[in-house]
Structure 1
Amino acid sequence: MTSFGRPLTRNEDPRLLRGEALFVDDVELPGLLHAAFLRSPHAHARLLAIDTAAARARPGVVAVVTAADLGEYWQPGPLLVPPPPVPGMEFHQRCQVPLVRDKARHVGEPVAMVLAESRYLAEDAVADILVDWESLPAVGDLEAALAADAPLVHDDLTSNVAARVHQARGDYAAAARAAHLVLKRRFTYDRGASIPMETRGIVADWDRRADRLTVWDTTQAPVVIRNGLAAMLGLSERQVRVVAPNIGGGFGPKMMMFYPEEVLVPWAALRLGRPVKWIEDRLEHFFATTHERSQIHDAEIALDAQGKILGVRDVFLHDTGAYDPYGLTVPLNSQCTLLGCYVVPAYDSAFTAVFTNRTLVTPYRGAGRQHGVFVMERLLDLAARALGIDRAEIRRRNFIPADAFPFDQGVIYQDFSRLSYDSGDYEPILDKALAAIGYDDFLARVQPTARAEGRALGIGLVCYVEGTGIGPYEGARVQVQGSGKVSLATGIGSQGQGHATAFAQVVAEQIGVDIRDVEVVTGDTDQFQWGVGTFASRGAVVAGSAAHEAAKVVRAKILRTAAAHFECAEADLVLADGAVTVAGTDRRIALGALAGLANPMRGAVTPGTEPGLEATRYFGPASGATASGVHAMILEIDRATLRPTILDYVVVHDCGTVINPLILAGQIHGGVAQGIGNAFFEKLAWDSEGQLLNASLADYLIPTALDVPRMRLEHTVTPSPLNPLGVKGAGEAGAIPVGALFAQAIEDALGLPARDIEIREMPLSPSRLWEITEGG
């Protein structure tokens, strides 16, 4: 019986719950040294001199490393994701160096590394280092950074422009001239941090006898880190093993970043011949781990009198921070995802990525998609209000019809291909969401009754698409062991997504074993040598499909080997319950015994025979699979405090074939929680000198269990034709539409016919809501 679609509990949970799972900070080795970093206290400053004598003299300190000590190893990091070849694009690559040598470009940029017998001694020695700084004016405001007289983040450039990209199709100017209504608004989406439960960390150990480096890293892309470290350290890839063990939350910033600490700790272990550990503390996380979200959009929409979209124009600024190693992934996602579920005949979008004296910006759950969704959904809300059309109806009128897929959007996506929606059917999703939230009854009865009682209740309803499952590829190796157990190894890492269960289901489906008998190994480059990483909601789509293809080959080998053993036709065999049986008889052989037959220790074998019941396969999709959904919410605003309380929350999602609804629900729940955070709590605050003012969990607010509601989840299924499982990703679907949903529901709760308010920014807070309602 198939295990797909069944809410099976997770294979990995018992070890996690018993505290037996390995995390990076659990790695303890003989002779372990601890690293601590001196970081720039300035957002923008020239390094004039550095004196490390006192730090080097402190007992227990083994080494103090500055840029001057790195020699040829001091060089900018790699461009991790080159931008796609958009015609006319301007792009300036500036990647971070391991340690500041001439100029610090954001607060927290590392200046020196101390290695000591304990972290306490290393931290004390950091305080001994004397630095002579020349403070420089800092730029943080996006528009100010583009002024002609703005201080330059990078002195070799003539401006703070990191990139310019313009994509267009159709004739927006003509659409605007023909329109019944043209709406123009400015939207802002400010900065936030990822705040995983486990901060970043790395342990590196150089084994002189084996001539081999082992690195334990909180990374989402262990193979990429291995390849990069090997190249930088002058080692072969076989000399470097990278292990991404259990990771306490990744969310994007733990991707293939090559942070300075990831580059320096292995170098130190190699040079000193002793293992080295560095674990990021929470304060460092706010300054040294990448951020996301800051954009300013000037957008407009042109519609006819019936609310049909004729065209959209969007010009926006994107804060890339001090460096841009991740290319243009985030703003391209914003640019492309803005188109949403809708037919947009004319689209004109241009963005400018801007260097600022702030921490780097790279993908964080949603990765720019929430910005695009926020702009489009807000424009539709405002248009519906202006035209007197129901919010749900204006969306329905503009949906891409089900018979129009695949639907070419005519712009270049971040995966280098034209943005094409592979499949979808949006009306059933909307209908399910409307019914589940009780939309008609709320508007007709619940809300008027609440208002008569003086309560501020509002409803929100937004639609979204999520580009998922991008390439280039992932691989998997499946093997039946002599014990009858099955092993699966793949190159991607896992940060709680349930890979050990979902991938086990994919393999068990083909090989006929219980999923508890499938051992899944991820994130260890010794177990599987090739892969890209876990990001962009691609695990089930790409690695899952590779596992499926490998398992299919193993299944064929099982049946071929069993047919030879039983001297029967393969069609007469039944593969189930960990054994092969000849149909209608009691002749049976367990998979473990069959694996032994496939790997004989004596005798001749047929030329060309592959030993064992094993296969390795790779899967690379032609383009990404497009998931979609609708979120609906009812909330109440306390009129005195302006604090919102979510009373009901519904998600209807289409991610193609559902492998495990329990794991899928967990992904959606977690995404919504983070979406609530970046809609109403999580906003980084800066002063004019580029100093972060709320770099602690006492001041940077995140949602708690009291703020995250119970959610009701439903699904529709339009299988993707781009992979053999028909799956689409779901890792970011919970987070993407929540900002737009909050804005709409708050407007609905607080808006009165005599004085409508407009929410055009994220994140919000009670104090900011008060300013907006008072006309600020």
Structure 2
Amino acid sequence: MALKNVLIGSPVPRLEDRRFVTGRGKYVGDVAVPGRLCAVLVRSPLAHGVLRGVDTGAARASPGVHAVITAADIVRDLGAVPKIPLRQDSSPDFVRAAQPVLASDHVRYVGEPVALVVAESAALAEDAAELVGLDIEARPAIASIAAARDMRAQLFEKIPDNRAGTLHGLRGDAAAAFSRADYTRRETFRIHRHTAMPMEPRGLLADWDAAAGRLTVHGAAKVPSANRRILAAQLGLAEDAVTLIEDDVGGGFGVRGEFYPEDFLIPFAAKALARPVQWIEDRREHFLATNHAREMECDLEIACMRDGTMLALRGHASIDLGAYVRTTGATPARSLAQFLAGPYRIPDVALDVDLMLTTKTPVGTYRGPGRFEPDFLRERLIDMAAKDLGLDRVEFRRRNLVTRDEMPWRLSTVTPLGLDSECDSGDYPETFARCLKEFGWAEKTALQGALIDGRRHGIAVGCYFEGGSPGPRENAMLRLEQDGRVSVHVGSSALGQGLETVMAQIAADALERPLAAIARVVHGSTDAVRDGFGSYSSRSVVMGGSAVLAAAEILRASICTTAAEKLGCKAEELTLDDEIVRAPDGRSIALKNLAGGVPDAEGTFAANARAYSYGAHAAQVAVDPATGHVQVISYVAVEDVGRVINPATLHGQTVGAIVQGLGGTLLEELVYNDDGELLTASLADYLLPTAADVPPISAQAIDLVRAPGNPLGAKGGGEGGIIPVGGVIANAVANALSYLGIEPCALPLSPQRVWQMIKEAETETE
């Protein structure tokens, strides 16, 4: 269908915002049902140990308590304690380290669920939870990758080396490339553990209708249909007996919506008690229980010719998985292995990635999973190589970027997962050039290493692509309502990205109707469409939007067919004029008069290939040598996302992602001690960026090369803002401190770490 782009491409104000700013948003904590009980988790206080017993007597006798559920109760009801399956990137090796929904014989991280207390109120449940006695025989903690490798303690009897598995990212022959290289350099990099902090923590409300044999769960997000399949199977229910409802959501960023222990426990309790049960996560629980991310180490080597032609990358990485492999825990490792070379013409790549088990909260996907990490590694090595070879770092990059004529460009194959992919389209040199121009690179080169008002300044630029928009498919349904307007039902989920607005824009343009003709956008419920695949990896517009477009084409044809029967003419002769269908002779019929006779239109879009957006970022920083404080003076991002549906919502996504990237690069860190205890488990210790930390940001989304694999020509734009931030800022800091020869190879670049690097470098030069 040829879209007229009346609404698509326009900065339409978000349709969602009125209810939010007027206090009419409805979050899971706002859902009120009669007879609701409240649940509180009893969590392990130790990082590692044998669970000898759980004493629930005093807690069960506590006022207002309806149940204290342990693993033994689940076994009595279901025969076994269910484990959390992997949703993506599964292998038999990883399944060995799957997490049970309640600990039964071992605890493996501080915060692991051991029991569930259900009472009349949250306060009564918390009081009773304090009375649950845990008999845990302590075992040594494994609080780092190094500790996991020395094997003095094991988390699982069947995994003696604490290695859940190894992935291999391969392209070409790296060994041969290194043998003929003029130049090589090897560095060891470290990225720290941090994660997303949505304003609203997780929450659930489960309601079991015993008479109807139906379970309704509020608080589902991201992938409700996938979670319904898991939950129904674990509870022994038919899928159509379970409804998951998203409600409004206060941020997701990858960590919300995966299947956690609570996603089984709360519905299980509601079914067992035949009463609605609600659980709302507090902030400390969020730190201990919600997926962590990013922590890894990597020895990486680059091979080049003297003229700066990059030949190969090879290395060995270790991902700190935490205690278990759950849902998408292996995805960052897979993406790291697959996307290491990024947008550069590096023919030969070899990277082994070990997935190491430690006594920490399990990891999962956080915005740009497995993309942020390789961009930091690669962009740092590129700057080091350019410096060593005496080459301009801008020209070095430009020379090695894959060109438009070389598309599609094949990426590394990941074994044993058997994953293979290629970049579908793009003009990497053009976005790079536009970024440099917008940043004013030529004018700012004099700032490199300059001392201004006691601070050293540095600038840097980096390139990336965003491998988003995965399939396999998405579904949508459009309905002509009685008033002549159209309701849009889509399997995508809303996590704050403006989903309702962009889906309405697509539907309205496809039907050649004004935005007001869209009655509502229904999403996030397993009853919205036959089967929804949700929102993750920047797929909503590409997959969900294309499904809406397909449904709109079908609805439009059905409207014309039905109207033609009533008007006595051919369907192809009719035109839609807002609320009216007109015949060539001037006769017409109102859409509201057709509503009963036009069937619902179901549309599906299927695609196995990803759509790759891409771009470049540049930044200027000022480093205070006396304190180690890094201030970002300015930041520029240019990204090609193909057809832009709503530039205003996309701009908000990009700026927000950049700020998250700055937080993860400069401030945020989940710090554990040697006993496996999380030391930064509150917002007093885990530092998030505030308005004072946000620099002037120029974020440009351009429609340069449209994606060939979907009818919208769109590419995902939700994660490009965060992916290159670590590498760009680290390179800018290195350039600011080049007078000391400092080369940051570890994140975060906190004042303490930067100050320590400065002092060590000053000592060496004395």
TM-score where L is the length of structure 1: 0.94
Residues 475, 543 of structure 1: 8 Å contact kept:
yes
**2:58 corresponds to 1:23:** no
Counterpart residue number, 1:268? 269
Counterpart residue number, 2:461? 461
Counterpart residue number, 2:526? 525
**2:83 corresponds to 1:96:** no
Counterpart residue number, 1:34? 38
Query: Which of 637, 641, 646 matches 1:651?
Result: 637
Residues 340, 375 of structure 2: 8 Å contact kept:
yes
Give the Cα separation in 2 of the matches to 1:570 and 1:42. Answer: 70
Letter in 2 for 1:555: R
Counterpart residue number, 2:154? 152
1:109-128 to 2 correspondences below 5 Å: 109-128=112-131
Give the Cα separation in 1 of the matches to 2:680 and 2:80. Answer: 32
Give the Cα separation in 2 of the matches to 1:558 and 1:738. Answer: 49
Counterpart residue number, 2:85? 79
Q: How many residues align?
A: 752
Give the Cα separation in 2 of the matches to 1:185 and 1:128. Answer: 51
Unaligned runs of 5+ in 2: 762-766
Deviation at 1:417?
Answer: 4.2
Give the Cα separation in 1 of the matches to 2:417 and 2:513. Answer: 36
**2:214 corresponds to 1:212:** yes
Query: Which of 53, 64, 76 matches 1:49?
Result: 53
Residues 80, 256 of structure 1: 8 Å contact kept:
no
Give the Cα separation in 2 of the matches to 1:516 and 1:11. Answer: 10
**2:756 corresponds to 1:771:** yes
1:675-694 to 2 correspondences below 5 Å: 675-694=661-680
Deviation at 1:453?
Answer: 5.5
Residues 684, 700 of structure 1: 8 Å contact kept:
yes
Deviation at 1:454?
Answer: 4.4
Give the Cα separation in 1 of the matches to 2:70 and 2:29. Answer: 25
Give the Cα separation in 2 of the matches to 1:590 and 1:292. Answer: 54
Residues 574, 581 of structure 2: 8 Å contact kept:
yes
Counterpart residue number, 1:320? 321
1:84-483 to 2 correspondences below 5 Å: 91=94, 93-147=96-150, 149-257=151-259, 259-325=260-326, 326=328, 328-412=330-414, 417-444=419-446, 446=447, 451=451, 454-483=454-483
Counterpart residue number, 1:547? 548
Deviation at 1:586?
Answer: 4.7
1:685-704 to 2 correspondences below 5 Å: 685-704=671-690
Deviation at 1:529?
Answer: 3.2
Identity of aligned residues (%): 41
Structure 1 residues 367 and 17: alpha-carbon distance in aligned structure 2, compared to 1, 3 A threshold: same
Counterpart residue number, 1:604? none
Letter in 1 for 2:644: V
Letter in 1 for 2:468: T
Give the Cα separation in 1 of the matches to 2:416 and 2:162. Answer: 23
Deviation at 1:109?
Answer: 0.4
Counterpart residue number, 1:705? 691
Give the Cα separation in 1 of the matches to 2:324 and 2:534. Answer: 22
3-state SS in 2 of match to 1:762:
coil
Counterpart residue number, 2:492? 492
Deviation at 1:73?
Answer: 5.5
**Quick check: 297-306 or 1-10, which moved more?**
1-10
**Quick check: 623-632 or 711-720, which moved more?**
711-720
Query: Which of 728, 747, 753 matches 1:741?
Result: 728
Residues 487, 521 of structure 2: 8 Å contact kept:
yes
Letter in 2 for 1:405: M
Deviation at 1:222?
Answer: 1.0
Residues 207, 270 of structure 2: 8 Å contact kept:
yes
Counterpart residue number, 2:711? 724
| CA shift digits 1:562-607 (9 cap, x unpaired) | 3333334444433242332345x654333222324xx1xxxxxxxx
3-state SS in 1 of match to 2:285:
helix
**Quick check: 361-370 or 509-518, which moved more?**
509-518
Give the Cα separation in 1 of the matches to 2:467 and 2:529. Answer: 27
Letter in 2 for 1:756: G
Structure 1 residues 481 and 82: alpha-carbon distance in aligned structure 2, compared to 1, 3 A threshold: closer
Structure 1 residues 505 and 380: alpha-carbon distance in aligned structure 2, compared to 1, 3 A threshold: same
Letter in 1 for 2:722: A
Counterpart residue number, 2:764? none
Give the Cα separation in 2 of the matches to 1:671 and 1:453. Answer: 30
Counterpart residue number, 1:605? none
**Quick check: 619-628 or 585-594, which moved more?**
585-594
Structure 1 residues 699 and 414: alpha-carbon distance in aligned structure 2, compared to 1, 3 A threshold: farther
Letter in 2 for 1:482: Q
Counterpart residue number, 2:744? 759
Deviation at 1:447?
Answer: 5.0
3-state SS in 2 of match to 1:740:
helix
**2:577 corresponds to 1:595:** no
Letter in 2 for 1:540: V
Give the Cα separation in 2 of the matches to 1:708 and 1:54. Answer: 50
Deviation at 1:98?
Answer: 1.8
| CA shift digits 1:680-732 (9 cap, x unpaired) | 11111111010001100000001011112232122332111111111110111
Letter in 2 for 1:80: L
Residues 635, 648 of structure 1: 8 Å contact kept:
yes
Residues 169, 415 of structure 2: 8 Å contact kept:
no
Counterpart residue number, 1:13? 17
Residues 514, 578 of structure 1: 8 Å contact kept:
no
Letter in 1 for 2:481: Q
Deviation at 1:179?
Answer: 1.2
Deviation at 1:389?
Answer: 1.5
Deviation at 1:661?
Answer: 0.3
1:568-579 to 2 correspondences below 5 Å: 568-579=569-580
Structure 1 residues 14 and 452: alpha-carbon distance in aligned structure 2, compared to 1, 3 A threshold: closer
Deviation at 1:497?
Answer: 1.1
Structure 1 residues 473 and 33: alpha-carbon distance in aligned structure 2, compared to 1, 3 A threshold: same
Structure 1 residues 403 and 133: alpha-carbon distance in aligned structure 2, compared to 1, 3 A threshold: same
Deviation at 1:416?
Answer: 5.8
Give the Cα separation in 2 of the matches to 1:84 and 1:292. Answer: 18
Give the Cα separation in 1 of the matches to 2:454 and 2:37. Answer: 63
Structure 1 residues 453 and 641: alpha-carbon distance in aligned structure 2, compared to 1, 3 A threshold: closer
Give the Cα separation in 2 of the matches to 1:92 and 1:275. Answer: 32
Structure 1 residues 486 and 574: alpha-carbon distance in aligned structure 2, compared to 1, 3 A threshold: same
Structure 1 residues 151 and 437: alpha-carbon distance in aligned structure 2, compared to 1, 3 A threshold: same
Letter in 1 for 2:22: R
Counterpart residue number, 1:603? none
3-state SS in 1 of match to 2:18:
helix
| CA shift digits 1:611-669 (9 cap, x unpaired) | x2421122121211111011111122233322222222111001111111011101101
Give the Cα separation in 2 of the matches to 1:81 and 1:225. Answer: 9
Letter in 2 for 1:727: A
Give the Cα separation in 2 of the matches to 1:344 and 1:24. Answer: 48
**2:626 corresponds to 1:625:** no
Give the Cα separation in 1 of the matches to 2:666 and 2:206. Answer: 39
Residues 329, 362 of structure 2: 8 Å contact kept:
no
Give the Cα separation in 2 of the matches to 1:300 and 1:456. Answer: 29
3-state SS in 1 of match to 2:594:
helix
Residues 461, 617 of structure 2: 8 Å contact kept:
yes
Structure 1 residues 141 and 197: alpha-carbon distance in aligned structure 2, compared to 1, 3 A threshold: same
